[in-house]
Amino acid sequence: MKYCVHNETETEAVAQTFGKTLKKGDIVALYGTLGAGKTSFCRALIQSLTGNKNEVPSPTFTLLQTYETKNFLVYHFDFYRLKSPDEAYEIGIEDAFYEGVSLIEWPEKLGNLLPVNHKSIHIKILNDSSREIIIE
């Protein structure tokens, strides 16, 4: 699926629709440059899954934030600061893959630890307010 969004409200709508397809064990890899909107997409997705509009901070410094839904835990990873793929083991990535839904920003930092059966979301900056979102 390919979307062209022109503001954050449209991004939220795409994230909410995508969120309805997720189930326990799903792994979602989000690709895009700094400022592309990966965290904004995750925030809207998490808020729709939890039914809660509370703040969803970027896990850039903590590497991981978790959120409870009625059907599974959501693990929101940000591996921008990951120095080696092995560091992901230290924060429990294996458990996350089996126990909940994993949202992974900067998945390329995982190397071959990223399971083959993941879903990919590519977010590309078109201009200051517009983005192209491709969900595979």
Backbone angles phi, psi at 67, to 5 degrees: -140, 135
**Three-state helix/strand/coil letters over the chain:** CEEEECCHHHHHHHHHHHHCCCCCCCEEEEECCCCCCHHHHHHHHHHHHHCCCCCCCCCCCCCEEEEECCCCEEEEEECCCCCCCCHHHHCCHHHHHHHEEEEEECHHHHHHHCCCCCEEEEEEECCCCCEEEEEC
Q: Say which CATH superfamily domain 2-112+122-135 falls into.
A: P-loop containing nucleotide triphosphate hydrolases (3.40.50.300)
Q: pLDDT digit string (tens) for 81-101?
A: 999 998 998 888 998 999 999
Please check whether residue 136 is in contact with residue 119, taking contact to mean a CB–CB distance below 8 angstroms: yes
Q: Which of 134, 80, 73 is nearest to 107 (CA)?
A: 80
Which amino acid would we find at residue 23?
A: K
- Domain locations along the chain: 2-112+122-135
User: Per-residue confidence at 42, pLDDT binned at 50, 70, 90?
Assistant: very high
pTM (two decimals): 0.94
User: Per-residue confidence at 102, pLDDT binned at 50, 70, 90?
Assistant: very high
Q: Is the pLDDT of residue 59 over 90?
A: no
